[in-house]
């Protein structure tokens, strides 16, 4: 078993939850958080050390740490082998539930074969294509563009966890995390479009976006 880093302290975690979140915390919950997070911290540090050594340096640089963090904390797209390995970690009962959910998803989507072709696009592709077309045609009012820059409106209207739009100038023209590369121009300004869209039984963003399209007269 990997050695504990000792970086995250039980007292620190409990104090933060108590002070900042106004909640009590079970000792087992705090231990679970620390044990699991400690593994990630150790993995990130080990990777940063490896990168520094590979570059024949005895100093961990910001680029080393950034790459290590990207590898272990920001990766969202897994290969099929990685996905399978992650799923297999679950206990037999959970695996049965996962299998049932997959079969239900396949059955539901097979039953939707008569929907218009454009609706069969993956939700992310569908959203991106529709928005780019609408922005190009100036089909979204300026006031709506301003609302899309806010988290509260984006969450309430589209069920997403980030503002739908982000000004390119806010990140010095560099693509921020959770946004598609290649900003779009709307009314003379450049914006990045949020790429965090889901279509699952537990979290389905498609109905929200389709209702918004109807409201915009794009049905």
Q: What is the overall mean pLDDT for the chain?
A: 83
pTM: 0.47
Per residue in 98-127, pLDDT tens? Answer: 776 777 666 666 655 555 544 457 899 999
pLDDT at 122: 86
What per-residue confidence (pLDDT) applies to 150? 95
How many residues comprise the chain? Answer: 219
The long-range contacts involving 46-53, CB below 8 angstroms and separated by at least 24 positions, are: 47/71, 47/72
Domain edges within the chain? 10-77, 117-215
Q: Is the pLDDT of residue 77 over 60?
A: no
56 vs 67, 78, 192, CA distance in Å? Answer: 16, 30, 38
Q: What pLDDT was estimated at residue 47? A: 87
In this structure, of 70-79, 138-147, 202-211, the range with the lowest mean pLDDT score is: 70-79
Model confidence at 128: pLDDT above 50? yes
**Per-position b or e across 7-38, b if 16+ CB within 10 A of its CB:** eeeeeebbeebeeeeeeebeeeebeeebeeeb
Residue 186 scores a pLDDT above 80: yes
Burial (CB < 10 A; 0-12, 13-18, 19+), residue 97, is exposed
Does the domain formed by 10-77 have CATH 1.10.20?
A: yes
Weakest-pLDDT range from 17-26, 120-129, 168-177:
168-177
Query: For residue 118, what pLDDT is reported?
Result: 46
pLDDT value of residue 76? 55
**Structure tokens that stand for 200 in this block:** 């699952």
Alpha helix stretches (DSSP H) within the chain:
10-21, 27-54, 62-73, 80-88, 92-110, 123-136, 142-148, 151-158, 206-215
Residues 6+ apart with CB under 8 A from 23: 17
Q: Radius of gyration of the chain from Cα atoms?
A: 22
Spatial separation of the C-alpha atoms in residues 48 and 46, rounded to whole Å: 5
For residues 176 and 166, the answer to whether their CB atoms sit within 8 Å is yes
| Percentage of the chain exceeding pLDDT 90 | 41
């Amino acid at each position: 078993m990997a050695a504990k880093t000792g970086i995250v302290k039980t007292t620190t975690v409990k104090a933060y939850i108590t002070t900042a979140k106004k909640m009590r915390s079970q000792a087992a919950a705090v231990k679970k958080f620390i044990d699991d997070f400690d593994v990630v911290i150790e993995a990130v540090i080990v990777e940063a050390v490896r990168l520094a050594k590979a570059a024949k340096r005895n100093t961990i640089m910001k680029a080393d740490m950034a790459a290590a963090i990207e590898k272990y904390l920001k990766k969202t797209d897994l290969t099929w082998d990685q996905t399978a390995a992650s799923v297999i970690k679950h206990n037999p009962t959970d695996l049965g539930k996962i299998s049932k959910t997959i079969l239900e998803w396949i059955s539901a989507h097979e039953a939707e074969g008569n929907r218009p072709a454009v609706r069969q696009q993956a939700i992310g592709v569908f959203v991106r294509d529709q928005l780019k077309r609408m922005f190009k045609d100036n089909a979204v009012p300026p006031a709506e563009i301003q609302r899309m820059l806010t988290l509260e409106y984006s969450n309430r209207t589209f069920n997403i966890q980030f503002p739908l739009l982000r000004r390119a100038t806010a990140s010095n023209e560099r693509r921020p995390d959770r946004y598609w590369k290649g900003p779009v121009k709307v009314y003379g300004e450049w914006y990045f479009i949020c790429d965090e869209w889901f279509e699952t039984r537990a979290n389905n963003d498609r109905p929200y976006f389709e209702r918004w399209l109807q409201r915009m007269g794009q049905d």
